[in-house]
Amino acid sequence: MTDYSKIKQQLMQQKKHIEERIKQDFRDEEARTLSFSTGELSQYDNHPADAATELYEREKDFALLEQLERQHEEVEHALQKFENGTYGICEATGKEIPYERLEARPTARTVVEMAEKRYGGRPSEEDVLDGFRKYNFDDRDDETEFDAEDAYQAVARFNDNSMVFEDASLDEEDELIGYVEEIEGFLSTGIEGYTGDENVQFQRNAHYDHYLDGK
């Protein structure tokens, strides 16, 4: 049977440390009002920005207190498992958690594999790390939406220094943004819409040149 006495002692010391921090740093935090922190008798006639620093510090303290309380719950849970005789057993699979993992993280509830599933594996931000080309639908006939590449090009037009970034000097003319059919880029009608061929306006612009180049 694995000897967890060293880890248990570590958990008890961690619990004591957390309780001392809560008592010392956050003893009266929840009972204090914002007026107490700012020295104002009333916040009624103050703009929110006037108390922004004090409000930020107060919210930060509450966040730290919440984190400490969560850590305390995890330590309490681990110590309770010692009482039940289930410490070191994965709560998801029933397998024994490697001692090295418990030594590094005494409050671990599962084996590493189940912990990765619990927290979703890789962060969702990695889904967009492939760049804008992953969301470029120019070559797809079933997509006419304003895609991520179009959004980047629209913003890049405002770059004062051309070519500071790769592809930063792309013009809106490079793509027929906003059109379903190519001819819509150089044919137009009045505000009333199509009323006959004689009322269609023909524009010799970049979209027209683009259309001819493709023929």
Q: Mean per-residue pLDDT for 123-130?
A: 66
User: For the chain, which residues make up each domain, given as ranges?
Assistant: 5-125, 132-178, 179-215
Residues 29 and 158: their CA atoms lie apart, in Å, by 48
For helices 52-84 and 5-25, the axis angle rounded to 10 degrees is: 150
CATH for 5-125, options being 1.25.40.10, 1.10.10.10, 3.10.20.740, 1.20.120.910: 1.20.120.910
pLDDT of 81 higher than 70 = yes
Is 1 within 8 Å of 98 (Cβ atoms)? no
Q: What is the mean pLDDT of the chain?
A: 76
| Model confidence band, residue 156 (pLDDT cutoffs 50, 70, 90) | confident
